[in-house]
Amino acid sequence: MSLLTTTAVPAPAAARPGPRGARRTEPIYYLFLLPSLVLFTLAIPVPAIVGIFFSFTNSVGIGDWDFVGLTNYAVAFTDPAILRSYLFTFGFSLVTVVLVNVVAFLLAVGLTSRIRLKVGLRAVFVIPMVVSGIIIAYVFNFLFSNSLPAAGQAVGIPFLETSLLANPDLAWLAIVVVTAWQAVPGTLLIYIAGLLAIPGDVYEAAEIDGATRSQRLARITLPLMAGYVVINVILGFKNFLNAYDIIVGLTNGGPGTATRSIAMTIITGFNGGDYAYQMANATIFFVVTVLIAFLQISVTRGRNSL
């Protein structure tokens, strides 16, 4: 037999064509999918459906309950505490997402330029991403409550002599700073990947044409990074809307309720016996986040191609 003779290799079992040329999947693959599907269903959809059901009742989480219709929703829409938590959460999210993306983008530009030790610096800058949020919050709580006031008194800066966390008008700034400190590394990695994906020939051609660094940044880098900016804004805004652990570790929602987020309001209500009422609040929050997601997708459609 000639060495050039080829032998047909049978198609894998999962990709064999059916009677009419359609690709047929072996049942064994569905068996492997079943455990994950069952766990996902029991962990997310089922509890969500049960929670929505109880939002129409007066349940406290245990014991007897009665249907109350839309009473919980009507009260939630006029509850000052809930409205303040929504105002704080959305304001905090908007400020933080802008700060995180600006800082991360500038760092990414610097860490992809021709500087020494840039690989080592990248490793240093991503360290906050692997530390627990509650640990970070407790560390910064000590800094804001003790170290920073002591430094302010030493140098004679009245603004820093008292803890920012005790000021109801400024405590949110501390939360923004700490949240951004932890969130910048993840955003930074996405921006670095985007910058490294831009062909170097584009910059070389622009440099030959006489474009300055600022012109290359404004007319080449930013337009080509638009898709990555969209991804980071959507992911960041979604994560900041669910802020909880850092707020608990820094202010526990205080002073008073000045820094209480929506997630914290819901969880605090669960522990306080307002199960059905806070389930209505959680359902409203879910609908609001879904609407925001659709709005973000519709606004950025056609601009987020990578």
Tens-place pLDDT, residues 12-61 = 544 455 555 557 778 888 888 888 999 988 888 898 899 999 999 998 88
Q: What are phi and psi of 244, to 5 degrees?
A: -150, -60
154 domain residue, yes or no: yes
Give pLDDT < 70 ranges for the chain: 1-22, 300-306
CA distance linking residue 89 with residue 247, whole number of Å: 11
Confidence at residue 22, expressed as pLDDT on a 0 to 100 scale: 58
Residues 233, 93 contacting (CB under 8 angstroms): no
1 domain residue, yes or no: no
CA distance linking residue 61 with residue 270, whole number of Å: 8
CA distance linking residue 22 with residue 15, whole number of Å: 9
Closest CA to 302 of 234, 235, 230: 230
198 domain residue, yes or no: yes
pLDDT tens digits, residue range 47-100?
Answer: 889 999 999 999 888 888 899 989 999 999 999 999 999 999 999 999 999 999
47 domain residue, yes or no: no
Range(s) of the domain holding residue 177: 71-300
Closest CA to 86 of 287, 248, 293, 295: 287
CA distance linking residue 73 with residue 283, whole number of Å: 9
Q: What angle do CA 48, 236, 100 make, to 5 degrees?
A: 155
In the chain, the number of structural domains is 1
23 domain residue, yes or no: no
201 domain residue, yes or no: yes
For residue 105, count other CB atoms closer than 10 A to its CB. Answer: 23
Confidence at residue 130, expressed as pLDDT on a 0 to 100 scale: 84
Residues 248, 117 contacting (CB under 8 angstroms): no
Confidence at residue 3, expressed as pLDDT on a 0 to 100 scale: 44
Residues, the chain: 306
Confidence at residue 4, expressed as pLDDT on a 0 to 100 scale: 43
245 domain residue, yes or no: yes
What's the predicted TM-score (pTM) here? 0.82
62 domain residue, yes or no: no
- In this structure, what CATH number is given to the domain that contains residue 289? 1.10.3720.10
Confidence at residue 173, expressed as pLDDT on a 0 to 100 scale: 93
Confidence at residue 20, expressed as pLDDT on a 0 to 100 scale: 57
Closest CA to 93 of 220, 231, 233: 233
Residues 98, 210 contacting (CB under 8 angstroms): no
